[in-house]
Structure 1
Amino acid sequence: MAKLLYAATMSLDGYIAGPGGDMSWLTEHVAGDNPTADRLLNSVGAILAGNNTFGGDDPNRGTDSEGAFGGRYHGPVFVLTHRPPAEPPADVTFVGDLPSAIAESKKAAGDKYVNVLGANVAKQCIEAKQLDEILVFVAPVLLGDGVRLFDHPGGANVRLKPLAGETAHWFSVVY
């Protein structure tokens, strides 16, 4: 059965996007070989993204590297939104509620990961106790403002457990 994995690159001060969702800062930090990212790409069977992430900034916009995993991901994409476009792209499924989005993306992923993209969708998955793992790549930069990896003012702690044999930044979520 598929697992839900929130994988993101964040700045050292905890941001996954700059002010206004700006992703241009990320370009210089995702270039080059990354064995963990390559292994992750081969383990992803579907993507579940929020509408802001799906329609937002791409650090590789207008290049051959545009899209998830630097344009190398080619598979099912599910977008959680209450406002699907009038003419949706043929290769994207728009879903109006979290339980259906999770069920459909897990079914499409088979025994691989559903890669959750977007801080808001990841937060919703955590609140619903559906997120299984978190993988964080830390970029050596301080953004100072923007979209946080996880932002839940007044919320309860979310316990994480490092996965054995993995890098210090790959965790399972403990409920």
Structure 2
Amino acid sequence: MAKTLYSATMSLDGFIAGPGGDMSWLKEHIGPNPEVAGLIEEIGSLLVGKRSYSGDDPHRGDPEREGKAFGGGWDGPQFVLTHHAPAEPVPGVTFVGDLESAVAAAKAAAGERYVNIIGADVARQCLEAGVLDEIFVFVVPVLLGDGVRLFDHPGGTNVKLERIGVSHAEGATNLRLRVV
């Protein structure tokens, strides 16, 4: 059965996007990382938040990579959690209106592989619903000072995590954790 995994590149001060969802900061930190390459091979489907799906792209202006998951490094079924699906269908993308249905559909499509979650709000919802299995964070040496946090839940609860792995790549420290 598929597991859910939230992966993101994060600044040292805890942001995955800059103010207004700006992803341009990430471009200079995208480089060879064996852990990212390995993760891509483990993904069976994506569960994406609407803001992430429609938002900024660190590959903006690059026709080979813009708008593609992992800059074109991954291809497969995508499920976008939204209450406002577009009128026209998008090939390879299914728009789902509620978390439970979205997680079920993404897991069915992933088979024995991971459902990779993209988007802080969807990850938070999955954590609160008890359906988030793992977190994989690539910490890069930059301080953004403001933006979208990895997890943002003011007054939230203490969530216990178990370290699965820590590794280093050029320009990143990789932390893989299991939600206990």
Q: Shorter-chain TM-score: which interval?
A: over 0.9
Residues 104-158 of structure 1: CA deviation (Å, up to 9, x unaligned) = 0000000000000000000000000000000000011000000000010011011
Q: CA deviation at 1:70?
A: 1.5
Tell me which residue corresponds to 1:55.
Answer: 54
Identity of aligned residues (%): 62
Aligned to 1:24: 24
Matched, 1:173 2:179: yes
Instruction: Confirm or deny that 1:86 pairs with 2:87.
Output: yes
Scaled by the length of structure 1, the TM-score of the pair is: 0.95
Superposed CA deviations along residues 11-66 of structure 1, whole A, max 9, x for unmatched, are 000000000000000001012x1100000000000000000000000000231122
Count of aligned pairs between the two proteins: 172
Q: Which runs of 5 or more structure 2 residues have no equivalent in the other structure?
A: 168-173
2:162 aligned partner: 161
Give the Cα–Cα distance (whole angstroms) in 1 for the partners of residues 137 and 143 of structure 2.
15
Q: Mind listing any 5+ residue stretches in structure 1 that lack a counterpart?
A: none
The match for 1:11 is 11
What is the aligned-residue RMSD (CA, Å)?
Answer: 1.0
| Aligned counterparts of 1:80 and 1:88: Cα–Cα separation in 2 | 15
Distance 1:30 1:159 in 2: 29
Matches within 5 A, 1:1-150: 1-31=1-31, 33-63=32-62, 64-66=64-66, 67-150=68-151
